[in-house]
Every structure is written in C-alpha cells, then in structure tokens.
Structure 1
C-alpha cells in the first residue's frame, strides 16, 4: 500500500482528532466513567467516529490508498460506486467500478448489484473481491477483478471465485483477501448459516487454489439464527486477528450490529476472544458497538495508513434519521488487542 501523503491534503491524524469532552458534573460520575472506560466492550469505551464529510452514505466500505496518495473507497451496491478523497475527510462520488456489469452476475443477483467489496493492492495491481446474492439466500457467489490503477472503469472482471447453492450450509458473501508472511493467499468470507469460512487462493489467478480445496470453519454463532458476517483478517505482531460483524444489519436505528474480534497464531484458526472463548462457539471481544448517535456499527474493514491502523465501517446515524454513514477510527493495539480511539 502506498504511504505517500498528498502535498495538498490535511494531516490524517489531525482530521481524526476528536473534540474534547466536557467535564462531568460530579466526582462520583467521573470516577464511574473512568472505570467503565476500562471495561472492554462497554458502550462508554467506544469513541465517536472521526470527522468525514461529502458523499458518505455507504454500507460495507473497503478503502485503499492509491499510488497518487488519494484514498478510494468501494461500498456495497450499484457498480459498486466508488468514493475518492485526498485527505481522508472529504469524500466525493467517483463512478462505478464496472460501468457495464458482467452478465454472469445476473445468475446470483437479478439487479446485478454486488455486495461488500474488498479492495487491496497486491503484486503491483489492485484486486477487487465482491459478492452477489439476494437477502436470505445462500445461492451466492464471490467474484474477482483486477485493475492497474484501482479507479472506476479500469477493472477487468475475472469471473467467479467461489459459489454456494440453496443446499449449502454456508454462504459465499463478504469476501476478504489476506496474504500471509509466506506469500500464501487466503480468502475469509461468510454470513449467517454455519458462519465464517476460509479457503486458500492461488496468487496467479486470485481464485481458489487447485491444490488445496480445504474449507476451514473459523467463526460461528450458536444458535445459527444469531448473525455473524463480514470477516476481516489481519496480522499484527505474532497473532492473526479476525474481525467480524455480529447480529443484525440494515434496519436503520433498529440495527444491532457490533464489531467483534478474536485472535490466533494461524490464519486458519482457531480464533479465541480475550476471555479465551472459541469464535466457532459465540466467541468475540467487542471492538465497537452502539453508542450515542452511532447505531449498529459493522461491515468493517481494516486499513494500515501513515498514521496507524484504521477501522473503516458503516453505522446508522441516530441524529440523521438513521442514515447509513461512513465511520473511520484510528486503532491502536494494547496488550495484544485492538482498541479504537
């Protein structure tokens, strides 16, 4: 990922600085607040998102820094429609990744509208993974495209990577590409049903590895009627961290999404939360949850930038009629666990 800063952009660190909080009226309340802030997953420990403006009504955002220093973000639906920013604060609409949607999309999405794209730069070019489905169905597919620049209109589609049917016990949506230190490519994906899965990919094609067809189960809810989706896998230090979105999306201020995490010493698990609970059995330490005007944060991705790691996500703005809204927080690692600020 390119780490150059545009000479005309504001400092990303400064742009995400949060306003100072007013002092609490009583010493007892202040002490209580301080204690609650030390409790992992407590609502009072969740900061507000950094300042973003412009065209920021999105779901499931994935962001990367381009070679020219700009940021490009691809969210769910309609192309998908890109947003571009020079300063990580103001985002403008930049057009559809695919002005003419590939015909094969229609087999899985009548609207030919991809969900939850994942954009990254690998091996000198940009890779875009995306999913096609309809609500409540496991007749789904994940596709892949490449681009020399990452910009809308420059993507070449390479067709399906992995698909599921109505008879499958898992769902081929919400892909995330991860490349390990040995150069092995992995794709983590999944939603509801029996949870989050991981497969190995072939770096030469970006598709499922022909010599390794293993399907790893890495996270699940029990009962399966409880939601889990939107995985993101990263490595920091000696651990692999699996971020997921728990519970219900896409219901405005009735959404119950929260972002949770577990870690492992292997990209294929087992992943355990801070208490030691396996993520295949409801484990997951809260990273971000509903607080204040921020309702149902989820659909997250993680991006490394010049000033640190970023948690990029959507939430529903209680103060703006429940509008889906882009959220960006800096994220540090304390005691081996991610903490947003």
Structure 2
C-alpha cells in the first residue's frame, strides 16, 4: 500500500512539473505568426505616413516630392537618382517645362525645377501643343541627351525633340526635331514617348509610339543623338487591335539572361493603366510574353498579351492606387528598379511617383514588389518567417479594374488555409527566398491547381506603416500574384 501511495505521489508530482513545462514550451516554442527572426526589415521612410492627397502643398513646388509626377524617366548621375517627367499638376494648367526631381536613395525626393519654360516655335507650329510629354534622358558622349514630346491631344500631330547639356540639371540647349508625325505622312507611328536604349553592342536605339500605329524602334546616330534614318519610322514591335491603348515603351537588357525586355502600358491613364512586359533575344523583336504571344497582336485577344506586372490595386480597406502605368526602368549595378505614376484612390487626379524593386524569377522574368521601395534587399527566409496571415492580390490579365486583396494563411504544417477544402492547398519553401504556392481551384485551374512560384523579400508596408515580408511571382500561365504578410497587432 505504501508503495502504491509512493508511486501515486511521484506521478502527481511529475504531472505538476511536466504539464506546466509542456504548456510553457508549447506557447513559447511553437511557430509564431509574426516571426521575423534573421530578417532585416527596412526602416520607416518617414516619421509619419505620407498624405496621398495634400492640398496644403498644391502651390508650393518645394514640397511636391513625389506629387504630380507623370510619365517619369529615371537616370543615375553624379551620385543622385534623377526623374524627368511630364508637365502635370492638379487644380490648374501646369507650368510648362519638363519637371525634374532627384533623390539619394530612391525614397526621399526633392523637386529641382524644370527644363525650358515653353515649347519651341518649331514644336508649336507643328503640333499647337503647349506642354511637354514623356521625356527620356541618357548619358552619351560625355553629355546628357534629353528627348521630349509635344503633341496635339488625340491626333498624330506629334513631335519628338532633343536637348543636350553638359550637366544633368542643365542648362539645356534645344537641338530641334528628332522625328515628327502627322496625318497623311505615309506612316502609322505617333511621334511621342521616346526611350533611348543602348544595345549590347553599344548601338543606341529609340523605341517610341503610342495608340494609333503602335510601338516602333529605330536606330540612333550615336554621334548626334538624332535618328540614323530620319525618314524611316522603324520596325514595329507592339500593337493592339483597333489601335487600343498601348504606350510608354521602355527597353532594358539583362546580361545574365541574355534578353531584351520591352515594357509598355495598356489602357487609360486615369484608372485602368497597367504595365506589361515581353522579351526577345534581339532588340528589334519579336517580343514574346510568358505564353509566347507576340506583342504585335491586332486580334480580339490583344488585351491578353504581355505579362501584367503592375496594375491598379488595393490592399485590405486601403483606398489603393489607380493609373499605375507609364513606367521607367533603371539598372543600378546588380539591382533593377521600375518607376511608374500612380493616382491616389481617394482622388484620381493626384498622381505620385512610385519606385518598385524588380525581382527576377528563376526562369528570367522581371516581376516587381507589391510595395514601394524603402531600401529593402533580397535575403534568406525560413519557414517560420512565412507562417501566418497574408493578403494576396492576383493581377488578372483579363480584367484591368482595380484588384483587391483576399486572405491567405500559411499554416505550420505546410497547408494553406483558404475557402477551399482543408488539406487541398499547400506551400513549400524551395530556395533561399523562393516559395511555391499550390492553390486548389477545381474545374478552373489546370489539373485543379494554380502553381505560383514567388520570391519573398522584405518590404515596408505603406498601408499599415510597418516593416513586413512580401512576395511576387507568377503561376503556370504567366499570371502575377502579389502577397503581403499581415502582422498581428
């Protein structure tokens, strides 16, 4: 009896010790939803969130920062990042003259001033346009070459001009016409939106055009900055049915992949504007998207060409962003960036400059961060970093309306909790920051699953004003998905 009592007392004592320890261990060593161990998150871009609509700065250009940027082109010079952009503001006609902004870090921007005070007589006489559109700047021959557009709204009466300066902030000397277009000239191109790209052999090219005839490319004389053949509109690269919205072309070359990448913007600049990308081994095309569709597509399917990598969006209950288009591209060492204008969901006439980090997929496609750049770098993540609540946005190529977010929960057992049956959707970390998402969608997805391969990177959560993790990537049909981890308060 004494032995039984002794055993019982020992058992009770062990229970008193083991159960609390187990509970403590479970609570403190189980995976946490907001575990950022080993991750360096970016710092806050400012002490308090920026206002997307701020009438206090309307007539104070020194406080414009990213406000009223449209059709921006980006260049790094003298240790600064410069953006040159279209004449634009809210509330009244903009002051003529290409706007200039600069930044040391791609985060904090200051308004520098303008190039010119009015369009040239030559440009005015050809177009009757009184403001500048969609500039582009390149350094060549030890000087800076600025290409600009002047146009009559809604017509092909357009003019691309050139200015040259020894210094990036000017003064600039106008060199006159590069190329111009007009109804009845025998061409189809609209002479606006120039972008100068130097190919892998050192030859400069001008890619340009919008609506009407589509996007063209032609050689530039590297000694003068003018066209090699000023009477030839060049080679057609991209076109949509019935001259539907396509404009703002840019081309960049990635030496690692061996491809040239063409970006263009589709649809209307105030709301449905979105950025598409395709690639080619040669700068004159053909440029094909993820599904091997040629960007020259006059068929009914022309809305479905190009990988959509930026589009109108809203995370959670945030008003979001419209008019997310007309991008610029920058390679800075090993890093690539995409800039674009975006219009505040609260008031679509307030346009801002957005800068996003480009991330490269394992098969050589550029995708961009779902959040604006805040100094983040790619780094290794662990499974525990990923467990928790996320918001996801799918950039559907068939629908250019603002895309909202839905919830996505990554569970510790590798399952994804969503409206689909338990145990049907899964996730797996397959590289230092590569994540596989298998989302069950019976009867819709190929073999019932959408298989997304995404890159996970740190980011600043501009909507909730804190550091977090995001992901960006594509599924098996080239549709892009964005995700953002939501931290429990």
Q: Same fold (TM over 0.5)?
A: yes
Q: Secondary structure at the match of 2:156?
A: coil
Q: Which residue of 1 aligns with 2:180?
A: 163
- How many residues align? The count is 288
Q: Cα deviation per residue 1:233-279 (whole Å; 9 max; x = unaligned)?
A: 11112111100001111x3xxx2110001111110110010001000
Question: Following superposition of structure 1 onto structure 2, how do residues 1-341 of structure 1 map, counting pairs within 5 Å?
Answer: 14=42, 54-67=65-78, 69-77=79-87, 78-99=96-117, 101-151=119-169, 153-167=170-184, 168-210=187-229, 213=232, 215-224=234-243, 226-236=244-254, 237-249=257-269, 251=270, 255-281=271-297, 282=302, 283-292=305-314, 293-306=320-333, 308-320=335-347, 322-334=349-361, 335-341=363-369
Deviation at 1:306, TM superposition (A): 4.7
- Offset, 1:122: 2.2
Deviations 1:98-130 (A, max 9, x none): 245432221244353110001122232211111
Paired with 1:135 and 1:115, the residues of 2 have a C-alpha distance of: 11
- Give the equivalent residue in structure 1 for 2:374: none
Q: Quick one: distance in 1 between partners of 2:348 and 2:268? A: 18
Query: How far apart in 2 are the matches of 1:257 and 1:211?
Result: 31
Work out the CA distance in 2 between the residues paired with 1:66 and 1:16.
26
Query: Which sits farther off after the overlay, 206-215 or 325-334?
Result: 206-215
Q: Is the 8 A contact 2:207 2:217 kept in 1?
A: yes
Deviation at 1:90, TM superposition (A): 2.0
Could you tell me how far 1:132 is from its partner in structure 2? 0.8
Provide the TM-score with structure 1 as the length reference.
Answer: 0.79
Q: Give 3-state SS (helix, strand or coil) of 1:90's partner.
A: coil
Paired residues of 2:189 and 2:233 also in contact (CA < 8 A): no
Secondary structure of 2:278's match?
Answer: strand
- For the 8 Å contact 1:15–1:89, the answer to whether it is kept is no
Flag the 1:286–1:16 CA change in 2: closer, same or farther, 3 A: farther
Q: Which has the larger radius of gyration?
A: 2
Seen in structure 2, the aligned counterparts of structure 1 residues 214 and 228 have a Cα distance that, compared at 3 Å, is closer
Contact residue 108 and residue 132 of structure 1 kept, 8 A: no
Unpaired stretches in structure 2, ≥5 consecutive residues: 1-40, 46-63, 88-95, 315-319, 370-489
Q: Per chain length, whose mean CA-contact separation is higher, i.e. which structure has more relative contact order (CA < 8 Å, sep 6+)? A: 1
Aligned partners of 2:139 and 2:155: how far apart in 1? Answer: 31
For residues 267-308 of structure 1, the C-alpha deviation after alignment (integer angstroms, 9 at most, x for no partner) is: 011001000100001321111111111212111110112561
Q: Distance in 2 between matches of 1:186 and 1:310?
A: 21
Query: Structure 2: how far apart are the matches of 1:328 and 1:135?
Result: 28
Alignment partner of 1:137: what SS?
Answer: coil
| 8 Å Cα contact 1:56-1:91 kept in structure 2 | no
Say what the alpha-carbon RMSD is for the aligned residues. Answer: 2.2
Secondary structure of the structure 2 residue equivalent to 1:267 = coil
Structure 1 range deviating more: 87-96 or 199-208 = 87-96
TM-superposed deviation, 1:15: 6.6
| Structure 1 spans left out of the alignment, 5+ residues | 1-12, 18-52
Q: Is the 8 A contact 2:118 2:131 kept in 1?
A: no
Task: Tell me how far 1:183 sits from its aligned partner.
Answer: 1.5
Judged with a 3 Å threshold, the aligned counterparts in structure 2 of structure 1 residues 55 and 327 are, in CA distance, closer, same or farther, namely closer
SS in 2 for 1:107: helix
CA pair 110-183 structure 1, distance change in 2 beyond 3 A:
same
